[in-house]
Amino acid sequence: MTELLQADDIPRAVELLRAGELVAFPTETVYGLGGDATNDRAVAAIFAAKDRPNFNPLIVHLPDTSAARRIVSFDARAEQLAATFWPGPLTLVLPRRADCGVSLLAGAGLDSLAVRVPAHPAARDLLRAVDRPIAAPSANRSGRLSPTTAAHVMSELDGRIAAVLDAGPCAVGLESTVLDLTGAAALLRPGAITAEQLAEVVGPLAAPGGSIRSPGMLAQHYAPALPLRLNATGARPGEALLGFGPANDATLNLSPGGDLVEAASHLFAYLRALDLPQYSGIAVMPIPDTGIGAAINDRLRRGAAKRET
């Protein structure tokens, strides 16, 4: 079911990505599970294919620094780091540009985006040819090891994604270093580029929260300012109703047809659209807890709990 493409089949990979399909491709670190970062449906499909029980923000891959500058705001530190380490296994977290066109789901609703320019020639050829930002987490199912060969990817995701671009084993075998530049430079994930190498360029690094936290805890998650009321059967006076499935009175509906991937693709955009002072709260209809529904419910529960603490 999943097509196995060779490095000279890049036009086919481009065609699939532009059509919103998922294509795994090699980087110098690990194989990534790629989807068009500007397409909400494609990004939702990434989370569904991985069986991820939550929405972590994804890394957006670009062919070069100028393409990265179009989606995030660079400062002098970012310019220096990009000039020193790109293309290569360094990911920078920077403020997202308002006009970047990247799906809110790709950044888990945050105001920042993680960007990187990989060094692998097949990845660079693909990114240049597709000419769109590509969101790509490691191409494994949730909780499994990151794949470093096309065969690993196939064993994890065969039948769940459109294609795998096979260009041999990855050289590094360890994910990219993630550096947060939204404040004092802070290491979020150690990787092939060391803290010492980074400090030579930007000076001493701040430790996030005093120690390295687990990846799921790294990002401050987006939650609406209004209270969320979950498993609602209807809106109370003053509330907006976020619907799922058939609902006559929904203010917005995540998926009138009850499609969970479609619902995930709209989740962050619709929560933001309803997070208005004219409402007293957002009532959310029940979402089935199966497949990507688990990730939707995880995010909704966090949003609801935030108000109570």
Residue 256 CB, shortest distance to ligand TXA, in Å, is 30
Strands across the sheet containing 252-253: 228-229, 281-284, 239-243, 252-253
Residue 75 CB, shortest distance to Mg ion, in Å, is 27
Tokens 């990219």 identify what position? 176
Answer with the entry of ligand TXA, Mg ion, none that 39 interacts with (C-beta below 5 to 8 A by kind).
none
Q: Name every residue whose Cβ is closer than 8 Å to that of residue 60 and which is 6 or more positions away in sequence.
A: 37, 71, 102, 106, 113, 114, 115, 116, 133, 134, 135
| Minimum CB distance to ligand TXA smaller for 210 or for 277 | 210
**Rounded CA gap, 116 and 126, in Å?**
14
* Residue (of 302, 235, 241) closest to 270 by Cα position: 241
Residue 138 CB, shortest distance to Mg ion, in Å, is 3
Segment interacting with Mg ion (CB under 5 A) among 60-68, 69-77, 135-143, 197-205: 135-143
Helices and strands (H and E) in the chain: how many: 10, 14
Q: Name every residue whose Cβ is closer than 8 Å to that of residue 72 and which is 6 or more positions away in sequence.
A: 78, 92, 94, 95, 96, 97, 100, 112, 113, 115
| Minimum CB distance to ligand TXA smaller for 222 or for 244 | 222
Kindly state whether residue 177 participates in binding Mg ion, applying the rule CB under 5 A: no
| Start-end of H helices in the chain | 10-18, 40-50, 65-69, 76-85, 121-130, 150-157, 195-202, 215-218, 260-274, 293-308
Answer with the entry of ligand TXA, Mg ion, none that 103 interacts with (C-beta below 5 to 8 A by kind).
none
Q: Which of 138, 182, 253, 297 binds Mg ion (CB under 5 A)?
A: 138
Which DSSP letter does residue 250 get? -
| Minimum CB distance to ligand TXA smaller for 123 or for 250 | 123
Residue 235 CB, shortest distance to ligand TXA, in Å, is 32
| Minimum CB distance to ligand TXA smaller for 145 or for 276 | 145
Residue 186 CB, shortest distance to Mg ion, in Å, is 20
What's the Cα-to-Cα distance from 53 to each of 47, 129, 141, 216, 297, rounded to whole Å?
Answer: 8, 32, 11, 11, 9
| Minimum CB distance to ligand TXA smaller for 125 or for 175 | 175
Answer with the entry of Mg ion, ligand TXA, none that 113 interacts with (C-beta below 5 to 8 A by kind).
ligand TXA
Answer with the entry of ligand TXA, Mg ion, none that 188 interacts with (C-beta below 5 to 8 A by kind).
ligand TXA
- Total residues contacting Mg ion by CB under 5 A comes to 1
| Minimum CB distance to ligand TXA smaller for 12 or for 213 | 213
Kindly state whether residue 148 participates in binding Mg ion, applying the rule CB under 5 A: no
Kindly state whether residue 112 participates in binding Mg ion, applying the rule CB under 5 A: no
Which residue ranges make up the site for Mg ion (CB under 5 A)? 138
